[in-house]
Amino acid sequence: MFSQTYTFTLTNPNTVNILLSSVVNGDHHLDFSSIVLTGPSGPISATEFTPDPFTGHVISNARLAPGSYTLTASGTNSAALATYVGTIALAGSAGAQPSANGGPLDLTAGSAGFIGTPSAGAFSNVFTFSIGSPQTVKLMLSSAVGGDQNIDFTSVLLRGPFGDLLAAELTRDPFETWTLATPLLNPGSYSIIASGINSDAVATYAGTLALSPRDPDAPDNDVPEPDSGALVMAGLGAALVMLRTDRRRFRTNRPGGVLSRRR
């Protein structure tokens, strides 16, 4: 169980969009039980925007009065710790200050979150990681639109020894999300390349990534349950009966068959 709080203060009335995101992969699984924004405008609860394996919870176009606010995210995390990320956009904000973007990701725990605040205009940010054993990757990049703040991705891809895998756009503005689920990847070095255009009112995007040694395409080798086995045997028995019946019909109807008699 967890309950984590984030605070901010408004000096003027404003409209806010908030997006919290997490991915499920293998044993990495985080479930939100509630996400609530409290302050002078009263409690405002987030709603589930997208379900597992790419979970998104949003507070959309909430009109806020001046004052101090607290965002409380509560839920349960798996024993194999998963990560969630969040983005917030204000309609009347001048935008965040551009920051360094890209660099290596720490996947010691098997999952990681990261952010990018590119300068206005076109950008291409590169995040790197390495895996020492075969792993599947699930990746989600998220951004919220608020007023003049807007990041539009043109492409999100995973580059590695095999070449490039392209992420797909899952949802569009005001809560833009791009997602990617890979097959089992070989050990080696990989890059996440996020490209797009940032608005003059500089906006921020966030990403979450989770690894798993499980192969999603592996065949199911489970032994059939007794009932299932009985059904299979019954089906085979019925097929044999039909085959014997067809043979009898063939022998009966062919020329010179049992219907012809010698005198």
Segment among 8-12, 185-189, 259-263 with least mean pLDDT = 259-263
Q: What are phi and psi of 184, to 5 degrees?
A: -65, 125
Long-range contacts of 41-50 (CB under 8 A, 24+ apart): 41/65, 41/67, 46/18, 46/20, 49/19, 49/171, 49/175, 50/170, 50/171, 50/177
pLDDT at position 92 is 76
Q: pLDDT tier at 218 (50, 70, 90 boundaries)? A: low
Torsion of CA 196, 202, 206, 207, to 10 degrees: 20
Whether the CB-CB separation of 157 and 193 falls below 8 Å is answered with yes
pLDDT in tens, 108-144: 999 999 999 999 999 999 999 999 999 999 999 999 9
Q: How far is 248 from 10, CA to CA, in rounded Å?
A: 88
Q: How far is 99 from 154, CA to CA, in rounded Å?
A: 20
pLDDT in tens, 134-192: 999 999 999 999 999 999 999 999 999 989 999 999 999 999 999 999 999 999 999 99
Q: Is the pLDDT of residue 262 over 50?
A: no
Whether the CB-CB separation of 134 and 211 falls below 8 Å is answered with no
Comparing CA positions, the residue from 153, 139, 126 lying closest to residue 207 is 139
Burial (CB < 10 A; 0-12, 13-18, 19+), residue 257, is exposed
Q: Is the pLDDT of residue 253 over 80?
A: no
Q: Is the pLDDT of residue 227 over 60?
A: no
Segment among 53-57, 67-71, 236-240 with least mean pLDDT = 236-240
Q: How far is 111 from 77, CA to CA, in rounded Å?
A: 12
Q: Is the pLDDT of residue 225 over 90?
A: no
How much is the average pLDDT of 229-239? Answer: 45
Q: How many helices (H) and strands (E) does the chain have?
A: 1, 18
Mean pLDDT of the chain: 86
Q: Is the pLDDT of residue 255 over 60?
A: no
pLDDT at position 168 is 97
pLDDT at position 109 is 92
Q: Is the pLDDT of residue 55 over 60?
A: yes
How much is the average pLDDT of 25-52? Answer: 96
Query: Model pTM?
Result: 0.79
Q: pLDDT tier at 101 (50, 70, 90 boundaries)? A: confident
Whether the CB-CB separation of 142 and 177 falls below 8 Å is answered with yes
> What percent of the chain shows pLDDT beyond 90?
75
Max Cα distance, the chain (Å): 115
Q: For 94-244, list the strands marked E by DSSP.
A: 103-104, 111-116, 121-131, 136-144, 151-160, 163-166, 168-171, 175-181, 188-198, 205-212
Q: Is the pLDDT of residue 80 over 80?
A: yes
Burial (CB < 10 A; 0-12, 13-18, 19+), residue 210, is buried
